[in-house]
Amino acid sequence: MMTGKSLSERIGDLGHRLAIEAHAAWLAARDPRVPWLARVLAIAVAAYALSPIDLIPDFIPVLGWLDDLIIVPLGLLAVRRLIWAELHAAAETASERPSSRTGMAFILLLWAGLLYIVYWSVRTSPWH
């Protein structure tokens, strides 16, 4: 929680964080690994967030800030979810790959060796 900051400072901090998120969306839109729908939405959100012209001008009390405080965060959330869905699908596909029995045997032998070293060091310890 941000204590000791005025409302205008907190709004300024939020605006700064949203500008960083919008720039991240712009970078994601330029990454060829990002799905096309997320790229298109990221471009739209970043362009809107970084544009000096708003849907509702900021000089209109309350309503002027609502578009920035609702449209931009919702758009950024949608971009994140679209990218996450793609990564989640890739992780799911990767989890279906066959496991390595050789790798499992190697790790088990490594653990057995480490346990033997610990056992041996306890048995040969002068305090035992």
Residue 30 and residue 85 share a domain:
yes
Residue 106 and residue 92 share a domain:
no
Residue 108 and residue 53 share a domain:
no
Q: List the domain range (segments joined by +) for residue 127.
A: 100-128
The span from the CA of 20 to the CA of 6, in Å, is 21
Residue 83 and residue 27 share a domain:
yes
What is the number of structural domains in the chain?
A: 2
63: CB partners within 8 A, 6+ apart? 56
Q: What is the pTM of this model?
A: 0.59
Per-residue pLDDT of the chain (128 residues; tens, 9 = 90+): 556 888 878 877 887 888 888 888 888 888 888 889 999 999 998 888 777 777 777 777 777 777 777 888 899 999 989 888 887 787 777 777 666 788 888 889 999 999 999 998 888 888 76
